[in-house]
Each structure stands twice: as structure tokens, then as C-alpha cells.
Chain A
Amino acid sequence: DTGVSQDPRHKITKRGQNVTFRCDPISEHNRLYWYRQTLGQGPEFLTYFQNEAQLEKSRLLSDRFSAERPKGSFSTLEIQRTEQGDSAMYLCASISPATGGYNSYNEQFFGPGTRLTVL
């Protein structure tokens, strides 16, 4: 399977615990995005990387959230001291550069998501 993969698919945790999610993008894609999707809403942008560099973070990404992409391949998203409001689906997507560089119409390939439930 050469698609975007995410692990775990489901995570149940108690309030106050730390959790970490992993995303493996398509191998030749050097741009990677994280989104959060709550029930009844569309995905909301959290952050993105080009190779190992984190280029933008949304205001949604509080200081309890941290994302890394240490070798420019897989990425991790960690949430510290989880709160019930963190319960959501966390989606990862990757894109490859079009000829001549990135453009707004590059297709994003999404992983299946990690569903987090905070009790």
C-alpha cells in the first residue's frame, strides 16, 4: 500500500494524559499537513511541514500540541495534558511538488485519520 498511513486509528485516553500520533506520508511527498476534524465540521488546518521544516502553525495549535518531522519522512503529533475538547479525528495529508514547484492545486492525499476520544 503506497497511500498515507496513520497510527493508531483509534485512541481512547483519560483527561490529563499525553498522546502521540504518527503519520507516514507517501514516500516521494515532501510536504505534510495535519488537520483536526470535530463532529459535524470540516477539517481544520493545524500545521504543515516541508521536509523537516515546520513552515506554519495555526492558532488552533495551542502550546499543548507539538508536531515534528525529524527526518523529513514520517511525522508525529503530540498532545500533552489532553482535555475533553481535544476529542476529534486527526487527519494527515501529503502532497508532492508539481513541476516548477508547489501550487495551490496540488492534490492532497489524506490518510484514514486517528480518532481520539478523551474521557
Chain B
Amino acid sequence: AQSVTQPDIHITVSEGASLELRCNYSYGATPYLFWYVQSPGQGLQLLLKYFSGDTLVQGIKGFEAEFKRSQSSFNLRKPSVHWSDAAEYFCAVNTNAGKSTFGDGTTLTVKP
């Protein structure tokens, strides 16, 4: 069965600093990977997705993620964090049925 691990429960960065959120997955077939962001009381918004091709994918809001098959990782990065990026971030892997298995999320706090 597929699984997703987000090792960091909570990360705090200063505004303007770079950010990396870690995600490791376990899935027997070719993984289809996603990053979502969730603000308090809101649904999930897709940041980016990977299914084939270039292992570095660009998303919305200046985010990017790199797929590393050898490490079973799909880490999310942003070169300069803005205060509005404070939220919870979820990594997910999809099955062939299109349903997602999510990690437990990383909460990002941005210090002024």
C-alpha cells in the first residue's frame, strides 16, 4: 500500500529566507505526486504535481519541487518566503483510481 511521510511537523522560517519541506513516499508503481496548501478552515489548493518528464516541476506562488526516484522523495522548495505563505502543506501520492494518500502535513510559520 502506498504511504507518504512528511518528517517535519512544524517549520519556522524568517520572511525572505528560503524554504524546503520534505516528503518521502512509498508506492510500488510509478508515483504521481502532488503538493497542496491549506489555510485554516479552508480546503486544499494544488501547488504543483509531477507524473513524468523533467524531475524539477514549477508550481504556483513561486514554489517548485524536485522528484528524486532514488531517494523516494519529492521535496518542496521556495527561494524566498512571504508572510502569506504561512499555512499547512500536504504532500500526496495518487493511485490509478485517482484517489490520494496524504502525508500528515507540515505547518509553516513565517517570522517577520
Contact = CB atoms under 8 A, between A and B. Distances in A.
A35 to B, nearest CB: 8
B99 A56 contact: yes
Given A91-B44, A104-B51, A105-B51, A40 B104 contact: yes
Contacts of A95: 98
Interface of A: 4, 31, 33, 35, 40-45, 48, 55-56, 91, 93, 95, 102-108, 110-113, 115
Contacts of B104: 40-42
Interface string B35-53: 0100001111110010100
How many interface residues does chain B have, given as a range? 20 to 34
Contact of B102 (A42, A105, A113): A42
Residue in B43, B46, B96 whose Cβ sees the most chain A Cβ within 10 Å: B43
A113 B88 CA distance: 15
B55 to A, nearest CB: 15
Nearest to A113: B43
Residue in A41, A42, A103, A110 whose Cβ sees the most chain B Cβ within 10 Å: A42
Given A41-B105, A42-B90, A108 B43 contact: no
B85 to A, nearest CB: 19
